Amino acid sequence: EPEVTQTPSHQVTQMGQEVILRCVPISNHLYFYWYRQILGQKVEFLVSFYNNEISEKSEIFDDQFSVERPDGSNFTLKIRSTKLEDSAMYFCASSAQGATSNEQFFGPGTRLTVL
Amino acid sequence: KQEVTQIPAALSVPEGENLVLNCSFTDSAIYNLQWFRQDPGKGLTSLLLIQSSQREQTSGRLNASLDKSSGRSTLYIAASQPGDSATYLCAVRTWHDMRFGAGTRLTVKP
């Protein structure tokens, strides 16, 4: 069964460093998303991406964050200058069509620890 | 602003019992509602998606209902098994984003 994959599973970085989290969505899906879950808190929407551009973003997704689809398979989330409060589990998701009508499938997550 | 609440926060039942998990939301202007399962330290596994025009969806032992006008959804699990132990999340899709509840942590005891 097709699934969303994410690498790395765990990333440790120093405050102020840049990190790139990688995702491979399900191959025939067109819509891609990033979410985060701070330990013990709710899952929070960050951004959605379609046709090589951001379609929606939350107030969390500020100038420190960026997303890119560098090739036909990968979808990345970049955090330019990490802060302690960026420590969280980051989930990538994809859907065949827009999320207003379609089920989203999630990857296993990347645990980001900022020291 | 859409708020999603799940009650109870935790639930422990003996194996074989039927159970209901609740999800409520404050704004009925939703596109759909999705139920997920999350195992400790893991990602989210999609269980059921209900469109705003639908009243219920079924998959195996799971049945989810949606009453958009009252801002409620329930997830019914029949004949629970120890393997059902996990945190169950509901999420509502609005025009701008997807809002999650905090989840119900279910433990099914053998």
DSSP B36-55: EEE-TTS-EEEEEEEETT-S
Average pLDDT over residues A10-15: 97
B53 confidence band (pLDDT: 50, 70, 90): very high
Q: Is A51's Cβ below 8 Å from some Cβ in B? A: no
Residue A64 has pLDDT above 80, yes or no: yes
Whether A56 and B97 lie within 8 Å, measured CB to CB:
yes
Q: How far apart are CA A26 and CA A78, in angstroms?
A: 20
Q: What is the pLDDT of residues B61-74, one digit of tens each?
A: 999 999 999 999 99
Q: How far apart are CA A79 and CA A47, in angstroms?
A: 13
Q: Classify residue B45 as exposed, middle or buried by CB count within 10 Å of its CB (0-12, 13-18, 19+).
A: middle
Nearest in space to A31 (alpha carbons), one of A62, A56, A6, A13 = A56
Res B42: pLDDT: 83
Please, what is the end-to-end C-alpha distance for chain B in angstroms? Answer: 41
Number of A/B CB contacts below 8 angstroms equals 52
Residue A72 has pLDDT above 80, yes or no: no
Contact (CB, 8 A) for A36 and A88: yes
A1 confidence band (pLDDT: 50, 70, 90): confident
Which tokens sit at B28?
A: 């009925």
Mean pLDDT of chain A: 93
Whether A43 and B44 lie within 8 Å, measured CB to CB:
yes
Q: Residue B26: how many CA atoms within 13 Å on its side-chain side?
A: 8
- Contact partners, residue A14, CB within 8 Å, separation at least 6: A82, A114, A115
Q: How far apart are CA A78 and CA A21, in angstroms?
A: 6
Whether A100 and B101 lie within 8 Å, measured CB to CB:
no
Residue A100 has pLDDT above 90, yes or no: no
Whether A108 and B49 lie within 8 Å, measured CB to CB:
no
Contact (CB, 8 A) for A83 and A114: yes
- Please provide the size of chain A in residues: 115
The amino acid occupying position A72 is G
Average pLDDT over residues A90-94: 96
Residue A99 has pLDDT above 80, yes or no: no
Average pLDDT over residues B55-64: 96
Average pLDDT over residues B25-51: 93
The amino acid occupying position A96 is A
Chain A nearest-CA distance from B19, in A, is 23
B9 confidence band (pLDDT: 50, 70, 90): very high
- Contact partners, residue B48, CB within 8 Å, separation at least 6: B34, B35, B57, B58, B59, B62, B64, B75
Question: CB neighbours (10 Å) of residue A41?
Answer: 11
Contact (CB, 8 A) for B33 and B92: yes
Lowest model confidence (mean pLDDT) among A36-40, B68-72, B96-100: B96-100
Average pLDDT over residues B40-64: 93
